[in-house]
Structures are given as C-alpha cells and as structure tokens.
Amino acid sequence: MTKRTSDTGKTIAERLEAAANAQERFQIMYGEIRDRICMLVYPPGSQLGEEALADEFGVSRSPLRKALQVLEADGLLRSQQGVGTLVTEVDIEELTQVYQLRMELNELTGKLSPCLPTRELKALFSEMRKRAQDLRNTPTRADFARLNIDFFHAFQQLSENQPLRDVSEKLFYQTCRIWLKLIPNMDLAKEVDIFCGEIDDIVDAVELGDFQAAAFTRRAHLSMGFIRLKAQKDTASH
C-alpha cells in the first residue's frame, strides 16, 4: 500500500511533484519525516535508509539529505558514515532538562506578546475540545498522539512571539515521543481521560479570553504529566 497523508489523500511523491520550489519540497519532506518519527512510524533506534526514502518520495538523495541534516540538527536523527541514519533514543532521564525548560517557556507563552482572543482562535480550541471528546469515547494510541501534537500547535497560537514559538516547537518534538513510547505500560483510557480533562480546562480559559490562565494551567499539566511519566519509568524498571 502506498502511504498517503492524512489530510489531502495524496502521496508524498504527488505532493512533492506539485510543490512550486525547493523550499516547499524541503518543508514537505522535513515535516513528513518528523511526523513519522514522533508518531513512532520510525521508532527510536530504527534506521532510515536514504535511498529507500528518496525512492519513496520520488526524489534523489541530495534534496532528501537536506531534510535529514536539519532533523539531525534538531536532535531527532543521527547520521554516521558507514553506520546509517538512526532515529535518536528517548530517555526520560535525559529529557528532564528539556521538560524543565518547556515548563518555563509555557509560562512565557501567556506573558510575551499574547494574542487577542479572536473568533478564529476560540473556534480552533472548540474544535480541540470536540476531538478530545471523540478520543474519550474511543481511545487509541495513535489518536492520542495526534491530538497531543495538534493541541500543542493550537496552544502555540496564543502568543505572537515567533522566536518563542520556534523554540517551543523544537523542544516539543524532542519530548513528545516519550508518551507513545511509555503508554503501552500505562492505562491508555486513564491517560486519555486525564489529557482530555486538561484540554477542557485550557479551552475553558481560552473561551474566557484569559490566555495567561491557560498558560499557567498548561504549565501545571506539563509538570504533572512529567511526574506520571517518571513514576511509570520507575515502576517499569523494578
């Protein structure tokens, strides 16, 4: 079966064919590979293979390698001559510092250049609440991970500080795989329930137009989520 993107129904090769220039092609490849990494289509430790990927994407290795190189700079891949291009491991101990920083940055989201509470913004979060409700009814690992990613991007839109957005996004993609990795050892329905409750809290704050409250709430949730992850890791190792 040929892989197709969720939105458009087109294959990657078709999307790349339709791209206007090299920068668009780069964005498509970069985004697609990053998505596969954080959805564990490419699990930590797995090998990518430049030629196979280039073949699937319908391009040569040269433009593909640019995407791989930037993902390596992002800390998601590691390429070494003679060995291969490997997806980096995610270890909760090593991610502790990233999580600490992410918590502080989330607080800044409500502080630096908060957006105005537009109708579009509220509609976006309303949509998130609805998707959370659907997820609660039929919880799956993949939908949980997908909503986690999409809700992150929605939250990002609460601040107009673009550097803050860029930095937060990099750090998010360094950490988000840990959930999919550890959730098999956890109670999926329970975690989904907690996560959807958190979304409800934040959407409540957004609908009131209080973005700073939304940011503090999210910071608290991040902190508690990290503690649950650590607890999970501790029980798994005993």
Partner DNA sequence: TAGGATTTGTGCGTATGTATT
Partner DNA sequence: TAATACATACGCACAAATCCT
Binding region for a second copy (CB under 8 A): 21-23, 66, 69-70, 73, 80-81, 97-98, 100-101, 104, 108, 111-113, 161-164, 167, 170-171, 174
Round to whole Å and give the CA distance between 237 and 228: 14
Instruction: Pick one of DNA, a second copy, none as the site partner of residue 47 (Cβ within 5 to 8 A by kind).
Output: DNA
CB of 10 to DNA, least distance (A): 18
Based on CB atoms, which residue is closest to DNA, 51 or 166? 51
For the bound state, the minimum distance from the C-beta of residue 5 to a second copy, rounded and expressed in Å, comes to: 23
For residue 224, the minimal CB distance to a second copy (Å) is 19
Binds 113, which of DNA, a second copy, none (CB < 5 to 8 A, cut-off by type)?
a second copy
DSSP notation for 132-199: HHHHHHS--HHHHHHHHHHHHHHHHTTB--HHHHHHHHHHHHHHTHHHHHHGGGS-HHHHHHHHHHHH
Alpha-helical regions (H) of the chain: 12-18, 22-38, 50-57, 61-73, 92-109, 119-137, 141-156, 162-175, 177-182, 188-207, 211-237
Q: Tell me 115's DSSP state.
A: P
Binding site for DNA (CB under 7 A): 21-22, 25-26, 47-51, 59-63, 65-66, 79-85
Least separation in angstroms between residue 222's CB and DNA is 34
Question: Among residues 163 and 184, whose Cβ is nearest to a second copy?
Answer: 163
Task: Identify which of 121, 147, 114 has the alpha carbon closest to the alpha carbon of residue 213.
Answer: 114
- C-alpha 16, offset from chain centre: 22
Nearer to DNA by Cβ, of 60 and 113: the residue is 60
Binds 51: which of DNA, a second copy, none (CB < 5-8 Å by kind): DNA
Q: Taking CB within 5 to 8 Å according to partner kind, which of DNA, a second copy, none is near residue 9?
A: none
Per DSSP, the three-state class of 60 is coil
